[in-house]
Amino acid sequence: MEILDELTELSPLGFTVGLHIRFATPLLYHSTFPPAWVRHYNDNSYYLRDPLVFWGIGTTGVTRWSEIGLPDPFDVIKQAAQFGMKYGASASCGPISSRSIVGIGRGDREFTNEELVKLEEIALRLHEENTPPTELTQAQIEALQCISNGDRHTAAAAKLGISESALKARLKSARIRLEARTTSEAVRKAREYRLL
């Protein structure tokens, strides 16, 4: 993804992207932060204690980690510095029901104002380009559910009481709605988007 290459250029020590966070879980997540830090972070469930996450859920915009005035009782930011990320910045965008947060880190200096503007622009693009559909029709869901359960077209059509061509039309419309090339990709995306 070209846009992730832009984040790599912006952030020498990596980045973390959590897109469309719903019910405390991102629909899409990707991190290139140092693997030892990611392991330590996950092992200690810091996503439940991280002031950067609280900041991102609570507001939108862009900020340096050093400017976040929230309590950090578990010293998450100080621990990140011990893994090389002495400086960082975060951007948050989207509605509270589908928030996206992007964090970047480096060890040599604070991020400049120009870099913060670039981070916010990248976060907004990532959020918009990865916005999942909010719904499928009941007919599309039923067709995808049959296929995800392993039914072949003939069996799925019989189960739904429709012709095989009607089933194929439902699957095709679901693929279009989910921007999927294949039915298996549509099933995967529908699951990721919690539509099945």
Calculate the average pLDDT of the chain.
92
What integer pLDDT is reported at residue 1 of this predicted model? 67
Share of residues in the chain with pLDDT > 90 (%): 75
Helix/strand/coil (H/E/C) assignment for every residue in 119-153: HHHHHHHHHHHCCCCCCCCHHHHHHHHHHHCCCCH
Q: What is the pLDDT of residues 108-138, one digit of tens each?
A: 999 999 999 999 999 999 999 888 776 889 9
Residue 179 pLDDT: 80
β partners of residue 88: 105
Query: Which pTM does this prediction carry?
Result: 0.74
101 close to 56: Cβ distance less than 8 angstroms: yes
- Residue range 73-93, pLDDT digits in tens: 999 999 999 999 999 999 999
Q: What is the pLDDT of residue 23?
A: 77
